[in-house]
Amino acid sequence: MPTYTPPLRDMQFVMHELLNVVDELKMLPAHADIDADTINAVLEEGGKFCAEVIAPLNLSGDAEGCKLDKTTHEVTPPKGFKEAYKQYVEGGWPALSCDPAYGGQGLPVLVNQGMYEMMNSANQAWTMYPGLSHGAYEALHAHGTPEQKSTYLTKLTSGEWTGTMCLTEPHCGTDLGLLRTKAEPQADGTYKITGAKIFISAGEHDLAENIVHLVLARLPDAPAGSKGISLFIVPKFLVNADGTLGARNGIFCAGLEHKMGIHANSTCQMVLEGAIGTMVGEPNKGLAAMFVMMNAARLGVGNQSLGLTEVAYQNAVTYAKDRIQMRALSGPKAPDKAADPIIVHPDVRKMLLTARAYAEGGRALSTYVALQLDKALSSDDEDERKECEAEVALLTPIIKAFLTDNGWIATSHCMQVFGGHGFIHEWGMEQFVRDARINMIYEGTNTIQSLDLLGRKVLGNNGATLKKFGKKIASFVEEEGTSEAMQEFINPLADLGDKVTKLTTEIGMKAFQNPDEVGAAAVDYLRVVGHLCFAYFFARSAKIALEKQGSGDPFYTAKLHTARFYFAKLLPETASLIRTARAGLQPLMAMDEALF
Ligand SMILES: Cc1cc2nc3c(=O)[nH]c(=O)nc-3n(C[C@H](O)[C@H](O)[C@H](O)COP(=O)(O)OP(=O)(O)OC[C@H]3O[C@@H](n4cnc5c(N)ncnc54)[C@H](O)[C@@H]3O)c2cc1C
The full DSSP string for 88-130 is HHHTTGGGTTS-GGGT-----HHHHHHHHHHHHHHHHHHHHHH
- Cα–Cα distance for residue pair 134/188, rounded to 1 Å: 29
Is 184 a residue of the active site? no
How do residues 197-240 score in pLDDT, each as one tens digit? 999 999 999 999 999 999 999 999 999 999 999 999 999 999 99
Q: Burial letters for 398-429: b for 16+ Cβ neighbours within 10 Å, e otherwise?
A: bbbbbbbbbbbbbbbbbbbbbeeebeeeebbb
Q: Is the CB of 516 under 6 A from ligand 1?
A: no
Q: Is 33 left (phi over 0), alpha (psi -120 to 50) or beta?
A: alpha
What spacing in Å lies between the alpha carbon of 438 and ligand 1's midpoint? 10
Ligand 1 center to residue 456 CA distance, Å? 19
Question: What is the pLDDT at residue 394?
Answer: 97
Model confidence pLDDT, tens digit, residues 563-595: 999 999 999 999 999 999 999 999 999 999 999
* Secondary structure (DSSP) of 430-476: HHHHHHHHHTTTSSS-HHHHHHIIIIIIIGGGTTHHHHHHHHHHHHH
Neighbouring-strand partners of residue 165: 214
Between the CA of 173 and the centroid of ligand 1 the distance, in Å, is 5
Q: Cα(208)–Cα(84) distance, rounded to whole angstroms?
A: 12
Whose CA is closest to atom 38 on ligand 1? 174
User: For residue 279, what are the β-bridge partners?
Assistant: 232
Q: Find the radius of gyration of the CA atoms of the chain.
A: 24
Closest to 200 measured CA to CA, from 175, 173, 227: 173
Q: Cα angle vertex 31, ends 27, 33, to 5°?
A: 95
Q: What is the pTM of this model?
A: 0.98
Q: Is the CB of 446 under 6 A from ligand 1?
A: no
Q: Kindly state the helix (H) or strand (E) to which residue 490 belongs, with its residue range.
A: helix 487-513
56-to-111, 113, 486 alpha-carbon distances in Å: 23, 21, 43
Give CA–CA dist 234/227, Å, rounded: 21
> Distance (Å, rounded) from C-alpha 241 to C-alpha 27?
40
**Predicted pLDDT at 236:** 98
Q: Say what the pLDDT of residue 295 is.
A: 86
Active-site position among 138, 169, 310, 443? 443
- Cα separation, 53 vs 313, whole angstroms: 20
Cβ–ligand 1 distance for 537 under 6 Å, the answer no
Cβ(235) – ligand 1 distance below 6 Å: no
Q: Whose CA is nearest to atom 25 of ligand 1?
A: 173
Distance 174 CA to ligand 1 centre (A): 5
One DSSP character per residue, 336-391 reads: TSSS-BGGGSHHHHHHHHHHHHHHHHHHHHHHHHHHHHHHHHH-S-HHHHHHHHHH
Do residues 87 and 140 lie in contact, with contact meaning Cβ atoms separated by under 8 Å? no
Query: Using CA atoms, how far apart are residues 210 and 580, in angstroms rounded to an integer?
Result: 49
Whose CA is closest to atom 44 on ligand 1? 447
pLDDT for the residue numbered 288: 86
Cβ atoms of residues 307 and 346 within 8 Å: no
What is the reported pLDDT for 134? 84
Distance 498 CA to ligand 1 centre (A): 34
Q: Please, are residues 289 and 280 in contact by the beta-carbon 8 Å criterion?
A: yes
Taking the alpha carbons at both ends of the chain, their separation in whole angstroms is 45
Atom of ligand 1 nearest to the CA of 166: 11
- Cβ of 215 below 6 Å from ligand 1: no
Q: Is 166 near ligand 1, meaning CB less than 6 Å away?
A: yes
Q: Which residues of the chain have pLDDT under 50?
A: none
Beta strands 245-248; 251-256: pairing state: unpaired
Q: Cβ distance 107 to 97 under 8 Å?
A: yes
Collapsed DSSP state (helix, strand, coil) of residue 317: helix
For a ligand 1 pocket test, name from 441, 443, 453 the mutation site with the most ligand atoms within 8 angstroms of its C-beta. Answer: 441
H or E segment at 555? helix 554-565
Q: Which residue, by CA, sits nearest to atom 50 of ligand 1?
A: 199
Give the strand pairing for 191-201 and 182-185.
Answer: antiparallel
400 Cα: distance to centroid of ligand 1 (angstroms): 14
Could you tell me which of 263, 156, 258, 140 has the C-alpha nearest to residue 198? 258
Instruction: Say what the pLDDT of residue 135 is.
Output: 84
Q: Is 303 in the pocket of ligand 1 (CB under 6 A)?
A: no
- Strands 251-256 and 267-280, sheet pairing: antiparallel
Q: Is 293 in the pocket of ligand 1 (CB under 6 A)?
A: no
Q: How far is CA 453 from CA 260, 323, 391, in A?
A: 28, 43, 11
Distance of CA 158 to the CA centre of its chain: 22
> How deeply is 127 buried, as exposed, middle or buried, from its count of CB atoms within 10 A (0-12, 13-18, 19+)?
buried
Please give the helix or strand (H or E) that residue 215 lies within, else none.
Answer: strand 210-217
- β pairing state of 161-166 and 210-217: parallel
- Spacing, Cα 344 to ligand 1 middle (Å): 42
